[in-house]
Chains A and B, each alone.
Chain A
């Protein structure tokens, strides 16, 4: 279970650019729930994920994981049980290393990175099998530098890498936004499959309202640092895209964009 309690965050305090983003923000995500988050630009979606992962610190409030306050844990400590995929496909992989090396790194998450061989040859077949499930032909490109893959291929690899080892939470920040619609659909299908197979507690920020409606057990719409829509269970199932679109347009108009 993941809880955000009374989170307050002010950017650039004391300057002319001071901006109060979160003022007493609360969120509870039960185990194995798949939450889809939408919202206007600047509504605080990325900031919320950053607070959870420790990439930024809240001014006040608590981040609680499985009942334990993790405020004092640093980003890399928190991410031991979190898998994270970013909007930018280059953030989830190492461009100058090949697919095999990238997967070997990901496969070693949670274990020491010591002086043993970086690539374990015995795992190659397992990696190939995982890659072939992506259906992108990456299994034949083990020795290709990741930097030369397409955005979609890199994002698929990033998703695979972030969920290779046992993790509890999956944090996705517009991870299909940089992709063409067809590739985005493939990645979204993969995401659903992984989340359900591994029973991950997932927060997926998406710019795509259709994805938010079709996927996930719960839908949150954020606006100016608040969750203005929060539906789960049957409510979530009954939502249709038009309805959400209408609310979304209203808040967007209100912002003047």
Chain B
């Protein structure tokens, strides 16, 4: 049971990150490595802010917008300076490593003694009082609420005119130009929203884990891609799910696979190896190896 809860928690947190990667990888066809730097960027910002006394709930929107800024930079490098997608992301990822260290001041920064979005007076009194039958599910319930809200907002955005342009730019950017819209701007906007979600996910992860570690980001992009690919292939079979729901479920499935691998005797130090092998298996099984062919 504890394992199940832990899988759910991790899956939901990384699910928000995966929603961001869904925008870059599936919609924009942009394998965005920025994520490996942007996720811990969200973590460190949240930790530093909470240690400085910022209300935990406020760190979420702040990290989202900070992530948007990071995504905008990746987009500018790609669109304005015409650096190819993978390299633009790697440049940002590398730079962010140092930026994150700078913000933290050291490689590891804990915040165990601070209230956060999962552990504060309001929630604790609720879960000790009227909701006491749900004790033990506090974190997962908060996460469920946040993830559902994020998913609904993203769904709403995708149905707006601006969201239509985002979908169109990945589908057929010639049409975007025909509409008199700068396709470069739309791509940058997509990267901004995506990295906003990634940093948001990082800020939530920070509060669940209770610390920042500089190496936290390594492999995040791979986890995100794996979740997106599981989610989208899942959708082919069960079509009544919205794509955003599928991606979050993909993330939970992915985390479950990792948990099973560790249960089967692998060490947690093997985690990155598990991540890589699992990703490879997913790519082979879902046949998502080929790059999308675009007109």
Contacts and interface: CB of A to CB of B under 8 A. Distances in A.
A95 B172 contact: yes
B177 A79 contact: yes
A112 B185 CA distance: 13
A95 B164 CA distance: 13
Interface in A70-92: 74-77, 79-80, 83-84, 86, 88, 90-92
A117 B159 contact: yes
A101 B183 contact: no
Contacts of A75: 177
B267 interface: no
Nearest to A80: B180
A13 interface: no
Interface in B45-62: none
Interface stretch (A103-111, A133-141, A234-242): A103-111
A91 B174 contact: yes
A38 to B, nearest CB: 24
A101 B166 CA distance: 13
A19 interface: no
**Chain A CB within 10 A, most for which of B167, B181, B182, B183:** B181
Contacts of A110: 180
Contact of A79 (B157, B163, B178, B295): B178
A114 B160 CA distance: 7
Interface of A, secondary structure class, is: loop
A97 B174 contact: no
Contact of A97 (B160, B162, B164, B181): B164
A105 B172 CA distance: 13
User: Interface residue tally of chain A, by bracket?
Assistant: 20 to 34
Nearest to A92: B175
A113 B162 contact: yes
B295 A162 contact: no
A147 B175 CA distance: 14
A97 B175 CA distance: 12
A119 B159 contact: yes
Contacts of B295: 88, 90-91
B172 A77 contact: no
Contacts of A106: 179
Given A90-B295, A115-B162, A118-B161, A97 B168 contact: yes
B182 A108 contact: no
Contacts of B167: 94, 96-97
Interface in B171-194: 171-172, 174-183
Interface of A: 74-77, 79-80, 83-84, 86, 88, 90-97, 101, 104-106, 108-110, 112-119, 162
Given A95-B171, A119-B159, 13 more contacts: A76-B180, A86-B174, A91-B172, A93-B175, A94-B175, A96-B167, A96-B171, A105-B165, A105-B175, A106-B179, A108-B179, A113-B162, A113-B181
23 contacts: A75-B177, A76-B182, A79-B178, A83-B178, A84-B178, A90-B295, A92-B174, A92-B175, A92-B178, A94-B167, A94-B168, A94-B172, A97-B167, A105-B165, A105-B168, A106-B179, A110-B180, A112-B161, A113-B161, A114-B160, A116-B160, A118-B164, A119-B159
